[in-house]
Every structure is written in C-alpha cells, then in structure tokens.
C-alpha cells in the first residue's frame, strides 16, 4: 500500500499518493527480479503490481496503459515517468540513489564500463535468452523451434565467454563495491544456461555472482524467482 501525502485543491486538503514511491509491475521468474532486489538494496519505498504472464487475460488493460507491448517489468518512477526494460530501470533507480553506490557517478572512471556492460547484456544475452524461451514466436514447426533454441543457446554461451574474458572482478564486477551490474548479471545468468556450464566456463563471473547473491536482500528475492538458486 502506498503511503499518503496531502495536496491543497480548491482550498481543501485532499490525500494523494506519495510521489516518492516507485511502482514496479512484477512477475515471478521474469526480468523484474533485478529491479526488485535493487529497490530493496537502495532502501527505496515502493509498491508492486503483481502480473501473471500465464493468465488468460494477460496483458491486462492496466499493464497496456504503461507498456503498449504488454511486457514486464515496468517501473513508474517517482514523479510519474515510466521506464521499461530492466537494464534501463536499474540504471535509473541506481542513479536516483547515488548514496547507495549501486551505479558509478557520471564522472567516475568506472561509469563507461558500467553503462557498456549493462547495454551489452541487454542487447546480446537478454534477446538470445528470450529467443530460447519463446522460440514459437519465431518458428512454427517443432524442428524449426529446436533450431532456434540451439542457435540461441550458442549465442548465450558465446556472449558469456566474451564477458568472462574481458572482466577481472575485484571482487565485484567493477571493483571493490557491488553495483547494479552485479545484480543484472546475476539475474541473466540464472536463465536458460546450465549452471554447471556457467561455473566451469565463467568462473570469474560465477564467483562475483556468488558474492552479490549472498547479500540477504538479494537472496530473498532470488529464492522466490529462480528455481536454480541455492544458498
């Protein structure tokens, strides 16, 4: 439930929703896990609107009103702005809370790498994972869908290997402190890929993931969203 604040209209005091509260359109085992964990980590007040992507009436009129594609996650930012795409909303939330350290400052030397890797994951790993899970949107026959899934997995593995080769966590992906990049990487690495493969092929990324997932607030969200998460 959102907290309440007051506005003066026509000389009378009327309640309205607190504009400091985020609204996250959230579904279990979707891309909203990262933004949800980030909201908890930065200590931001928020409410969630639960979305069942398997429900017969999905997408609902309420969801279509904030995202015409009918996809989640979506976050309504304090002040009324709408952000779609999990990477974008995690950057926006982290930037809203500079005291949390979850995003490098705009003039920090780590900022280019932070933005570059967030977009790299969003532009490469995320689409390939989506093709793997939703091959029926691309191909009609089962044989063709199998080929889509095979090629998507090949891309996912290639993209993770490339990231593993270029990063040297110390101990987090960008250095001594965690950032939204650690959360986003951890979330995406829980999808589609075989976990034994990920640990063997990407030991540096896996070790950094273990550190962020050990944070109690992250672990609490992960337990609800990822069947392959074990503490």
pLDDT at 64 over 50: yes
Of 34-48, 129-143, 200-214, least confident by mean pLDDT is 129-143
Instruction: Work out the pLDDT band at 17, boundaries 50, 70, 90.
Output: very low
The residue that leads in pLDDT, 30 or 119, is 119
Residue 189: what pLDDT? 96
Give the 3-state DSSP-derived string for the chain, with helices as H, strands as E and coil as C.
Answer: CCCEEEEEECCEEEEEECCCCEEEEECCCCCCHHHHHHHHHHCCCEEEEECCCCCCCCCCHHHHHHCCCCCCCEEECCCCCEEECHHHHHHHHHHHCHHHCCCCCCCCCCHHHHHHHHHHHHHHHHHHHHHHHCHHHCCCCHHHHHHHHHHHHHHHHHHHHHHHHHCCCCCECCECCCCHHHHHHHHHHCCCCCHHHHHHHCHHHHHHHHHHHCCHHHHHHHHHHCCCCCC
Domains of the chain (ranges, CATH numbers) = 4-100 (3.40.30.10), 111-214 (1.20.1050.10)
pLDDT at 13 over 70: no
């Amino acid at each position: 439930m959102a907290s309440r604040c007051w506005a003066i209209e026509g000389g009378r005091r009327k309640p309205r929703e607190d504009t400091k509260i985020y609204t996250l359109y959230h579904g279990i085992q979707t891309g909203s896990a990262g933004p949800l964990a980030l909201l908890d980590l930065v200590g931001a007040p928020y409410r969630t609107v639960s979305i069942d992507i398997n429900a017969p009436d999905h997408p609902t009129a309420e969801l279509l009103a904030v995202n015409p594609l009918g996809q989640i996650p979506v976050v309504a930012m304090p002040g009324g702005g709408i952000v779609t795409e999990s990477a974008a909303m995690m950057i926006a939330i982290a930037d809203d809370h500079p005291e949390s350290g979850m995003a490098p400052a705009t003039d920090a030397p780590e900022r280019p790498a932070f933005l570059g890797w967030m977009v790299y994951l969003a532009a490469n790993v995320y689409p390939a994972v989506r093709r793997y899970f939703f091959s029926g949107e691309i191909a009609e026959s089962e044989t063709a869908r199998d080929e889509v899934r095979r090629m998507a997995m090949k891309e996912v593995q290639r993209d993770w290997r490339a990231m593993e080769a270029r990063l040297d966590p110390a101990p987090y992906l960008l250095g001594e402190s965690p950032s939204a990049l650690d959360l986003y990487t951890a979330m995406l690495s829980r999808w589609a890929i075989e976990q034994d493969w990920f640990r063997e092929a990407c030991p540096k990324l896996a070790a950094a993931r273990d550190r962020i997932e050990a944070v109690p607030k992250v672990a609490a969200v992960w337990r609800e969203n990822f069947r392959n998460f074990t503490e």
